[in-house]
Amino acid sequence: MKVLSVVGNRPQFVKSAALSLVLRAVEIEEVVVHTGQHYDRELSQVFFEELDLPEPRYRLELQTADAQAMKPGVAATIQREQPDLVLVYGDTNSTLAGARAALAAGVRIAHVEAGLRSGDLSMPEEHTRIEVDGVSSYLFCPDERSQSTLRDEGAVGQIHVVGDVMADASRRFAPLARERYPIPFEPGSYVVGTIHRKANVFQPRLGAIVAGLNSIPERVVFPAHPRTRAQIEKEELELAPHVHVTAPLTYLELGSLASQARVIVTDSGGLQKEAYWYGVPCVTVRPSTEWVDTVVVGANVLVEADPASIAAAVAGARMPDRRPVLYGDGHASERIADVLLATMRGR
């Protein structure tokens, strides 16, 4: 069986890492297509070096987040490789381009991280989730909530609750991260901030978020996405001396830093989950989240882009006394491979 995996940004490299290792182990041929949606080395190439991922067979080098611009390149690789299945991950424009190209080519689609909904249709990611789930033959859900959502929507693909491949990556790579990249601070003595979503990196929200980080009395380590840093400089926003801006960190570097923080402030979907698995409380600067269970159990709080709200949420952030297992046991990749192998045997 041949699968073509479409990846393009930082979270997708992480999600695909654990699954790629399992696919190789069970001798499913995987062809990796890197769209180039993230092309900064620290957001892209370093993943293949750090996580023992095979080099992508195809690098489209598009350097764009435009799904329509990506689609022809993905379509050309599908035509050349003739895969049995196209694997797409999450809710990015690379996900959308991969699904649209596969649909046009008449190739089955498997969506990893299917069924998630934030309920916020102002987010382009929400539209991507709905569209891709609607055309996928195989829907790999992280939990029963996602399964119920797909059933309520009348999804026609096969639905499988497998857990979250990000949990697989966390289980596999977090200990390695702390061993390879020791932090220069006392654990629990600092806050980590990451802000990158389009809605948050333009004024007036970006200025309010910067003011919020400035209002936190503790040391804040702020690995800045290239787009975020460029906008901070363009708008001439001042960060307080205790807010330490760094270049983008590798996945393992960020894993070591974030897993030993007191609080994480983010707008990332993946980091909300990782914070939970690390046992670190999270403050999410978004009006909604697709990972609602982290909010329900009290490990994550949603805040608006308001300086006082951000500072207050960080000051009061605590992990709950009880931390139920969320989003699987770290073996989602094996379950996905089992489904694909059964599909191959049943042809």
Residues forming the active site:
196
Q: Considering only CA atoms, which of 38, 90, 17 is closest in space to residue 269?
A: 90
The two three-digit tokens of residue 289, written as one number:
């989240």
- Spatial distance between the Cα atoms of 267 and 257, rounded to a whole number of angstroms: 17
Q: Are 134 and 146 in contact (CB under 8 A)?
A: no
- Taking the C-alpha atoms of residue 108 and residue 90, their distance in angstroms, rounded to an integer, is 17
256-276: string of b/e by CB count within 10 Å (b at 16+)? bbbbbbbbbbbbbbbbbbbbb
